[in-house]
Amino acid sequence: MSDNATSARAGISSPEASLTLRVRFSEWIDRHSRQLFITPAVVMILIFSIFPLVASLIIAFSRIRLRGGGYSVRFVGFDNFSKQIFGSEQFHFLGTFAPISALGWVFGLGVLGLVLFWLFKYATAKFTVLGFLGRVITASMAVGLAFMFAATLLSGKPFGTLGTTLFYVFVGCGIQFLIGLGLAFLCSQPIRGRNFFRVVFFIPMMITPIGVGYAFRMMADTTKGPFSPLWKWVGWGDFTWATDPWAARIFIVVADSWQWIPFIFIVLLAALENVPRDFVEAAQVDGASSREIFFDITWPQIVPVAATVMLIRVIEAFKIVDLPNIMTSGGPGIATESMSLHSLFAWRSLDLGQSSAVAYLLLFVTVVTCVSFFNLIVVGRMRANG
Amino acid sequence: MAERTLMERLFEPAQIGHMPVGTKIVVYSLLLFWTAFVLFPIYWVFITSFKSAVDVNSGPVYLPFIDFKPSLHAWKELFVFDWEDTLKAYTNSIIISLFATALSVLIGSMAAYALARIEYAPKFGSILIFVLSMIAAFVGVGVYGVDWRLACAVAVAVFFFLIKALGRFYAARLGNGDILFWMISQRILAPVVVVVPIYMMFQSVGLLDTHLAIILTYAVVNLPIVIWLMYDFFKSIPIELEESAQLDGATRLLTFFDIVLPLSKAGLAATTLLVMILAWNEYLLALFLSTSKAQTMPILVAAMNAGERGILWWNMSVVIVVMIIPVVVMAIILQRFIAKGMLLGAVKG
């Protein structure tokens, strides 16, 4: 590129050479620079994201059979989706439904009431059609999910890949945020060896997820793993975590946290270091306690960063696939299967329609969650702060 | 000054900027605990790479030379007996992550710069027509078995015809913000949503299991990150510099490569490192797009799960260690930039 640049510079400094081919070429480039700058990115995204997205949509609405050398496509409408939500795959995607227990009713109706109250408040305060529609979508998904958990988890039945994915996303990201913030706060204190901790805490993010998966499988081994004496001492020597749904899920969250806390940590640490020292010192002079300083001065300054970093993290967390695949292959049963993994398994059994349908459902849940998070929390905060 | 109680002396600062002893103990023990939590799995993988099968299977041993006699048999197996496979995977990984990163950063920062500095206003109607003609082409190819080249040609022709014919009737336009949002939102797509069509696409043009296919895919997957981070960086550069360069007669391209890019070194470093880590570690897409020739390191790690013989922990550890070393070294050198680069993206994003 520098070659190109120097030739252009030569063209500028010597007008007598302005008719050479090179200069005419660089003039052409200059005239079309608007398009030249952005076209490569647009074309690449069109070919590798939008084409596949549309193709996936078509696959999701059809049944594909592979036959010697080729394949046949038959349009089946919403079959693939309704199979996941109402049909034979319901146990897999949503969970095994039971009659809703009393606790389930309390929870489901509680969420419904809260959501209706929230919608009512919005509709009476400031009403725009688009804003209301968006909130209705968010609200109906919240209620749907609440009743799904009410009919499965709270009624003593296992939930499916949707519930597992949401568990990874919300529990995992919540833990990661708290620990990441805590570590960043500790590292922002005047301590020795700050650079050492910063580098060490950052390392896990660079390790391939598949390596993390296998490393934690070794960690978790209760008979040959490094902590097996500890397990034996506690009396859980023959407890295999991979056969207990909740132990397996929690272990995957631990591994996921180990890998992703560094990301949250490093960004929040940079944000904390950006908080002007004068503010904090002035408050200290005025005799504010450290808790007051944190919640009244530091926290409001880092909220925008925190919201964005969590948005990125939540987007990535919905895609979790390597860890459950490596650590448990989705087992026991389907207890640790995320939606990405569900789709991958469907693909492996050559059921392309189901695979795409699950992938699209994942896309829908992700988009609704992330857009809600962004519009309701991030933008709301920005407005509140001016 | 009044007499201070023990608790006060331990936990309340005597003067500003001073950390009392009790707080110090708590802070350092928390930090050291987390250091141990972070480092222990890595240490375990590292020593496992020097263990023999017996050492691994007979229960935990912790300290080389004390608990067990370290052996190089796993390293030998990968670097002497399977040298060709290891070398192939390693060079594949290096080639793919370098080229994918370069491509992604180049294209992404050009687009980010364009969005930060040039006004775009595509018509909403034209985009709608484009999407519809694309869907039509897809249905034609997928459902009715039309030849894909023919379908593409017809779709493009129809698209231009409709734009010319209907262009006067709609005026709604999108802005730079919408384009930016569209590009960044591509990150939401889980690989599983798009990987099957990408697989079919590469199969139909005969590029499956080649470096090119993986490089292109990785470049696009990471494009949203590059655009996001670099957009904020370019926005933060004072526009006066570019304006004066343009007054002196510099072209846009020249301004970009000679003035803007050198000014955003920190952002470029952070973005490059981040994208390179992601490309280096990616597993799922590589699993779909490579079968033997273009296999990358993560595939090699998974290959150590050798079915009936169980997992060859020692060999796998060697591969993981070999994979970790270059990124860790690179990241320790560049980590200052990462924090800065990400912070900028996060603050303004």
How many contacts, defined by CB atoms under 8 Å, are there between A and B?
Answer: 308
> What is the number of structural domains in chain B?
2
Task: Supply the pLDDT for residue A21.
Answer: 77
Q: For residue B233, tell me if it sits in a domain.
A: yes
pLDDT greater than 90 at residue B218: yes
pLDDT greater than 70 at residue B228: yes
Q: For residue B7, tell me if it sits in a domain.
A: no
Task: Supply the pLDDT for residue A19.
Answer: 62
Give the confidence band of B339 by pLDDT, cuts at 50, 70, 90: low
Please indicate, yes or no, whether residues B66 and B213 belong to a single structural domain of this protein: no
Give the confidence band of B349 by pLDDT, cuts at 50, 70, 90: very low
Residue A40, classed as helix, strand or coil, is: helix
Q: For residue B127, tell me if it sits in a domain.
A: no
Task: Supply the pLDDT for residue A386.
Answer: 44
pLDDT greater than 50 at residue B179: yes
Chain B positions in Cβ-Cβ contact with residue A76 (cut-off 8 Å): none
Report the distance separating Cα A223 and Cα A150, nearest Å: 37
Residue B320 CB burial class (10 angstroms; 0-12, 13-18, ≥19): buried
Report pLDDT digits (tens) over A63-78: 877 666 666 777 788 8
Q: For residue B271, tell me if it sits in a domain.
A: yes
Average pLDDT over residues B303-316: 78
Average pLDDT over residues A87-105: 83
Q: Which of A30, A203, A266 sits opposite B252 (nearest CB)?
A: A30
* CATH code, domain with B267: 1.10.3720.10
Tokens for A287, please give them: 């005799």
SS (H, E, C) chain B: CCCCCHHHHHHCCCCCCCCCHHHHHHHHHHHHHHHHHHHHHHHHHHHHCCCCHHHHHCCCCCCECCCECCCCHHHHHHHHHCHHHHHHHHHHHHHHHHHHHHHHHHHHHHHHHHHHHCCCCCEHHHHHHHHHHHHHHHHHHHCCCCCHHHHHHHHHHHHHHHHHHHHHHCCCECCHHHHHHHHHHHHHCCHHHHHHHHHHHHHHCCCCCCHHHHHHHHHHHHHHHHHHHHHHHHHHCCHHHHHHHHHCCCCHHHHHHHHHHHHCHHHHHHHHHHHHHHHHHCCHHHHHHCCCCCCCHHHHHHHCECHHHCECHHHHHHHHHHHHHHHHHHHHHHHHHHHHHHHHHHHHC
Task: Supply the pLDDT for residue B29.
Answer: 92
| B195 in A contact zone (CB under 8 Å) | yes
Residue A63 phi/psi, 5-degree rounding, is: -110, 125
Give the confidence band of A11 by pLDDT, cuts at 50, 70, 90: very low
When scoring A29, A210, A217, A349 by the number of chain B Cβ atoms within 10 A, the one with the most, hence best to mutate, is: A210
Which residue in B has a C-alpha nearest to residue A76's C-alpha? B143
Q: What part of B 34-73 touches A (C-beta under 8 Å)?
A: 34-35, 37-42, 44-45, 48, 56-60, 62
Q: Which of B16, B297, B323 sits opposite A284 (nearest CB)?
A: B16
Give the confidence band of A383 by pLDDT, cuts at 50, 70, 90: low
pLDDT greater than 50 at residue A124: yes
Task: Supply the pLDDT for residue B36.
Answer: 93
Q: For residue B149, tell me if it sits in a domain.
A: no
Domain holding B59, by residue range, is 41-71
A190 to B186: CB separation less than 8 angstroms, yes or no: no
Give the confidence band of B279 by pLDDT, cuts at 50, 70, 90: very high
Largest CA distance in chain B: 91
Task: Supply the pLDDT for residue B348.
Answer: 45
Q: How far is B124 from chain A (nearest CA, A)?
A: 15
Please indicate, yes or no, whether residues B296 and B329 belong to a single structural domain of this protein: yes
Please indicate, yes or no, whether residues B272 and B329 belong to a single structural domain of this protein: yes
Q: Other CB atoms closer than 10 Å to residue B29's CB: what's the count?
A: 10
Average pLDDT over residues A209-223: 87
pLDDT greater than 60 at residue B347: no
When scoring B117, B194, B271 by the number of chain A Cβ atoms within 10 A, the one with the most, hence best to mutate, is: B194
B253 to A30: CB separation less than 8 angstroms, yes or no: yes
CATH class of A98-384: mainly alpha
Q: How far is A322 from chain B (nearest CA, A)?
A: 7
Task: Supply the pLDDT for residue A69.
Answer: 62
Q: How far is B166 from chain A (nearest CA, A)?
A: 23
A224 to B38: CB separation less than 8 angstroms, yes or no: no
Average pLDDT over residues A283-295: 83
pLDDT greater than 70 at residue A2: no
Find the range with the poorest average confidence among A21-35, B75-89, B175-189, B221-235: A21-35
Please provide the average confidence, as pLDDT, over all residues in chain B.
83
Q: For residue B150, tell me if it sits in a domain.
A: no
Task: Supply the pLDDT for residue B15.
Answer: 62
Beta bridge partners of A63: A74
Report pLDDT digits (tens) over A147-188: 888 888 887 788 889 999 999 999 999 999 999 999 999 988
Task: Supply the pLDDT for residue A174.
Answer: 95
Q: How far is A205 from chain B (nearest CA, A)?
A: 9
Task: Supply the pLDDT for residue B97.
Answer: 93
Task: Supply the pLDDT for residue A335.
Answer: 87
Task: Supply the pLDDT for residue A166.
Answer: 93
Structure ipTM: 0.83
pLDDT greater than 90 at residue B107: yes
Task: Supply the pLDDT for residue B102.
Answer: 95
Please indicate, yes or no, whether residues B289 and B325 belong to a single structural domain of this protein: yes
Task: Supply the pLDDT for residue B41.
Answer: 92
Task: Supply the pLDDT for residue B244.
Answer: 85
Q: Which of B200, B223, B251 sits opposite A30 (nearest CB)?
A: B251
Report pTM.
0.85
A322 to B283: CB separation less than 8 angstroms, yes or no: yes
Report the distance separating Cα A279 and Cα A193, nearest Å: 25
Q: For residue B148, tell me if it sits in a domain.
A: no
Task: Supply the pLDDT for residue A10.
Answer: 47
A48 to B111: CB separation less than 8 angstroms, yes or no: no
pLDDT greater than 60 at residue B164: yes
Chain A positions in Cβ-Cβ contact with residue B152 (cut-off 8 Å): none
Tokens for A210, please give them: 């598949």
Give the confidence band of A257 by pLDDT, cuts at 50, 70, 90: very high
pLDDT greater than 70 at residue B12: no
A55 to B251: CB separation less than 8 angstroms, yes or no: no
Q: For residue B167, tell me if it sits in a domain.
A: no
Report pLDDT digits (tens) over B46-94: 988 888 877 777 777 778 777 777 888 888 888 888 888 888 999 999 9
- Do residues A101 and A157 touch, judged by C-beta distance below 8 A? no
Provide, rounded to the nearest whole percent, the portion of chain B with pLDDT above 70: 89
Q: How far is B220 from chain A (nearest CA, A)?
A: 6
Average pLDDT over residues B335-349: 58
Average pLDDT over residues A273-281: 82
